[in-house]
A and B are shown apart, each in its own frame.
Chain A
Amino acid sequence: MTDTSTPGKKTDWASPQLLAKVAQRQRAEKRFRRLGLSAIVIALAMLATLLFSIAGKGYSAFYQTRLVMDVTFSEAVIDPKGTRNEDDLRAAGYGGIVRDTLRETFPDVKSRKDLRELFALVSKGAPMQLRDMVLDNPDLIGQTVPVDFIAGDDIDMFNKGFIPRDVPEGDRRVKDMEIAWFDQLDAVGAVKMVFNSTFFTSGDSREPELAGIWGAISGSFYTLIVTFLISFPIGVMSAIYLEEFAPQNKFTDLIEVNINNLAAVPSIVFGLLGLALFLNVAHLPRSAPLVGGLTLALMTLPTIIIASRAAIRAVPDSIREAALGLGASKQQTAFHHVLPLSMPGILTGTIIGLSQALGETAPLLMIGMVAFIVDIPGGFTDAATVLPVQIFLWADSPERAFVEKTSGAILVLLGFLIFMNALAVLLRKKFERRW
């Protein structure tokens, strides 16, 4: 090999040493390609496993068992005075109607204990279901119509096959008697599986069959709005200032190092900061999206600043020189040229920061967003919870029926995350620029 480099001597490209070297290089490249490929395959397989297991557990949350029974909307019970006054209609004893319906459908059930089991066939929300029907359409009073009752969670689980028939009666939550009633209904075609709209339209509930994620989605929405409104302008302004205006000195370097450090701080620390700052000092309402959003904004800020600075730095200096050379001030240059050109990158970073915030649980536990909240939050100061915290709460619940709800909520959360990240990719693709 040494003599090939002596001047005057021609390299023999066909010499055995050189050929061996070529073969060795080709082997190394092949080996590396195979390693890379297997790394990707492993990563994809893990991702697929995760998705399949969650989807497999969660898809049934999107369906719900309904039991169809004929209900007599007796005027004597609902509106004895016949005034059709809305308040009276609202306050009427619909529970009695539900019980009467069940008694009529299963006339053989007599004992108090059995009756209690029988009434659990349908959801605790059944009276509310009837009330809403009557309020919707008062003409129902006096009529007998078939009603799709939401099944109780145990029956729902049984119908979905999560509670097998063949285990001993003592080991299952659905007793033989209930199975018999269920079979009786099934035999006349009164058992239906329908799309579970409750899951998407209601707030949390102690009853799994009545629990939904709309409250958590609204909470997440308000929280993210606050996060965006706070962290985007502050983040972008800081980035512009640091990149375009700040003098280059030790102090600026110190700030830069600290911003990078902040991005790596565990999110729970931001939760503690939020607790100390917003609740204990500023006395903002506990459990509110306002406080959650502020706390998450603290967490998202470094991400947005770092991404924005990278995007601003990617704008070539020739553009700045062009503007300055025309007599534009530094500020005009930054706002007329640099900022618009870096906006796609900034937005991408912001969306990624926000999707991190959307999936964040720990800091919100610190500021009380972990409470059990049934009402759908209507604003920034109402008590609320967010999607990941809702998942955390459900995952902690003992009822079998919350398992599928947990996975269902995870699917929805993943859906939002995928949507946001796809949006980021799309933005980047659309505005990608070559200089």
Chain B
Amino acid sequence: MQMLADVTTPEIEDVEAIISAKDVSVFYGDKQALNNVNLDIPANQITSLIGPSGCGKSTFLRCLNRMNDTVFGCRVEGNITLDGQDIYAPEVDEVLLRARVGMVFQKPNPFPKSIYDNVAYGPRIHGLTRDKDELDEVVLTSLEKAGLLKEVKDRLNATGTGLSGGQQQRLCIARALAVQPDIILMDEPCSALDPIATARIEELIEELRENYTIIIVTHSMQQAARISQKTAFFHMGEIVEVGDTEQLFTNPRDDRTQGYITGRFG
């Protein structure tokens, strides 16, 4: 499989890779969850990770911002670089890394605080703004970018957990944007949402592509096909196939990819 992965990469070589994973293996205790994964993430593109449940998509995503560090017994091997720098190098501050590589989770998880404080939290702890006016500005533009401002602008002090599921997820996106990351990781951001809210978020992701690099895990083939430029198919802890989204969906090289996208297994 590794051969396959290597073969497919050259096709998108023309775009500069911002993240590059080489031979990444992840273990939870004795259990191996990822086995020698190689993947380049092109800058300012949307990369989607697809694959059957339990194949290691979330695990891979959480390696990219070292969220796995917080999981007891989790061990990461291999090499992941961000802008050419090894993110697992001892001198790297993982807290700062997480500010550069934002994350949106599967289940919306706003803080039980006001909408304003939710968005302002990141800039506050990183000291990104000098005064209240500047902070207001950041909060409003982040909400605007996340397409939530219109709905909440006259209740910024209402609690974030009181919003609808879709609104909460957009609030979480706004919260991630407020830190001004380079990369945003999204782990099934639409799985708890109805089709209309999903469409809004997809629209939003496409808009964000201009300024951010986005990696999204999704269970919806259509979603992957609609929004991403590059797709990686995971299976049993390995990348079976990776390539141009259009090519992967219309003309997969591997039988397993074919089987998965046509719904024969997964």
Binds B, one of A210-218, A261-269, A295-303, A322-330: A322-330
Closest CB in chain A relative to B47 CB, distance in Å: 18
B112 at the interface (CB under 8 A from A): yes
Whether A318 is near chain B, meaning CB under 8 Å from some CB there, is yes
Question: Could you tell me which residues of chain A, from 173 to 206, have a CB within 8 Å of some CB in chain B?
Answer: none
User: Given the interface contacts A248-B72, A318-B109, A319-B109, does A324 sit within 8 Å of B122 by beta carbon?
Assistant: no
Q: Which partner residue on chain A sits nearest B65 by CB separation?
A: A325
Binding site for B on A (CB under 8 A): 248, 316, 318-329, 332, 336-337, 341, 433
Inter-chain contacts of B102 with A (CB < 8 A):
325-326
CB atoms of A324 and B72 under 8 A apart: no
| CB of A29 to closest CB in B, whole Å | 37
Least CB separation from A247: chain B residue: B72
Interface contact B110-A322, CB-CB below 8 Å: yes
Expressed in whole angstroms, the Cα–Cα distance for A337 and B125 within the complex equals: 12
| B99 is an interface residue with CB less than 8 A from chain A | yes
CB distance from A204 to the nearest CB of B (A): 50
Q: Looking at the assembled complex, report how far the CB atom of A200 sits from the nearest CB atom of chain B, in whole angstroms.
A: 43
- The chain B residues found within 8 Å of chain A, CB to CB, are 65, 67, 70, 72, 95-100, 102-103, 105, 107, 109-112, 121-122, 125-126, 172, 175-176, 179
Q: A328-B121, A341-B112 are in contact. List 17 more A-B contacts (CB 8 A).
A: A316-B109, A318-B107, A319-B111, A321-B67, A321-B70, A322-B105, A323-B121, A324-B67, A325-B67, A326-B98, A326-B121, A326-B175, A327-B99, A327-B126, A328-B95, A329-B95, A433-B112
| Cβ contacts under 8 Å, B110 to chain A | 322
Contacts of A332 in B (CB 8 A): 125
Contacts of B109 in A (CB 8 A): 316, 318-319, 321-322
Contact yes or no, A328 B125, CB < 8 A: yes
Residue numbers in B under 8 Å from A329 (CB-CB): 95
User: Which of B112, B126, B176 is close to A325, meaning CB atoms less than 8 Å apart?
Assistant: B176
Partner of B105, one of A248, A325, A327, A336: A325
Give every chain A residue within 8 A of B103 (Cβ-Cβ): 321, 325
B125: A residues at CB distance < 8 A:
326-328, 332, 336
Kindly report which residue of chain A lies nearest to residue B104, judged by CB atoms: A325
A61–B147 Cα distance when bound, in Å, is: 70
Q: Which residue on chain B has the smallest CB distance to residue A329?
A: B95
Among the listed B70, B98, B172, which residue makes an inter-chain contact with A327, where contact means beta carbons less than 8 Å apart?
A: B98
- Cβ B105 vs Cβ A318 within 8 A: yes
Q: Kindly list chain A residues whose C-beta atoms are within 8 Å of the C-beta of B172.
A: 322
Which of A324, A326, A328 has most B Cβ within 10 Å? A326
Contact assessment for B122 and A327 in the assembled complex, using a CB-CB cutoff below 8 Å: yes
**Known interface pairs A318-B107, A337-B111, A433-B112; A324-B70 also in contact (CB < 8 Å):** yes
7 A-B pairs whose Cβ atoms sit less than 8 Å apart in the complex: A321-B105, A324-B67, A326-B122, A327-B100, A329-B95, A336-B121, A336-B125
CA distance A332 to B96 in the complex (A): 13
Contact A324 B111 (CB under 8 A): no
How far is B67's CA from A321's CA once the two chains are assembled, in angstroms? 8
The 6 closest A-B pairs by CB, nearest first: A327-B99, A318-B109, A325-B103, A327-B98, A326-B122, A322-B109
> Chain A residue with minimal CB distance to B98?
A327
A243–B175 alpha-carbon span in the complex (Å): 26
Shortest CB-to-CB span from B95 to chain A, Å, is 5
**A326 and B179 contacting across the interface, CB-CB below 8 Å:** yes
How far apart sit A316 and B112, CA to CA, in the bound complex (Å)? Answer: 11
Name the residue of chain A whose CB is nearest to the CB of B66: A324
List residues of chain A with CB within 8 A of the CB of B72.
248
Name the distance in Å between A239's Cβ and chain B's nearest Cβ.
Answer: 18
Shortest Cβ distance from residue A323 to the other chain B in the assembled complex, whole angstroms: 8
Which of A323, A327, A332, A337 has its CB near the most chain B CB atoms (within 10 A)?
A327
**Which among B102, B111, B126, B175 has the greatest number of chain A C-beta atoms within 10 A?**
B111
Q: How far is the CA of A434 from the CA of B111 in the complex (A)?
A: 12
Q: Which A residues are in CB contact (< 8 Å) with B70?
A: 320-321, 324
Quote the shortest CB–CB distance from B78 to chain A (angstroms). Answer: 22
User: Which of B102, B103, B109 gathers most chain A CB within 10 Å?
Assistant: B109
Cβ–Cβ < 8 Å partners of B97 in chain A: 327
Shortest Cβ distance from residue A9 to the other chain B in the assembled complex, whole angstroms: 33
Cα distance A29–B110 when bound, in Å? 42
Chain B residues with CB under 8 A of A336: 121, 125
Q: Are B105 and A326 interface neighbours, CB within 8 A? A: no
Q: Give the residues in chain A near B65, CB-CB below 8 Å.
A: 325
Q: Are A327 and B95 in contact (CB under 8 A)?
A: yes
Complex Cα–Cα for A316 and B105 (A): 14
Bound-state Cα–Cα, A325 to B173, Å: 12
Chain B residues with CB under 8 Å of A320's CB are: 70
CB closest chain-A residue, reference B99: A327
- Which residues of A lie under 8 Å from residue B121 when comparing CB positions? 323, 326, 328, 336
Identity of the chain A residue whose Cβ is nearest the Cβ of B181 in the assembled complex: A327
* Chain B hits for A325, CB < 8 A: 65, 67, 98, 102-103, 105, 176
A326, B176: Cβ atoms closer than 8 Å:
yes
A286 to chain B, nearest CB (A): 48
Q: Nearest residue in A to B103 (C-beta to C-beta)?
A: A325
CA A248 – CA B110 in complex, angstroms?
Answer: 28
Whether B179 pairs with A327 at a CB distance below 8 angstroms is: yes
Query: Are B98 and A324 closer than 8 Å at their CB atoms?
Result: yes
**Chain B positions within 8 Å of A318 at CB level:** 105, 107, 109
Q: A323 to chain B: which residues have CB within 8 Å?
A: 111, 121
B172 to chain A, nearest CB (A): 7
| In the complex, residue of chain B having the shortest beta-carbon distance to the beta carbon of A316 | B109
Complex Cα–Cα for A316 and B176 (A): 19
Is the pair B96, A327 in contact by a Cβ cutoff of 8 Å? yes
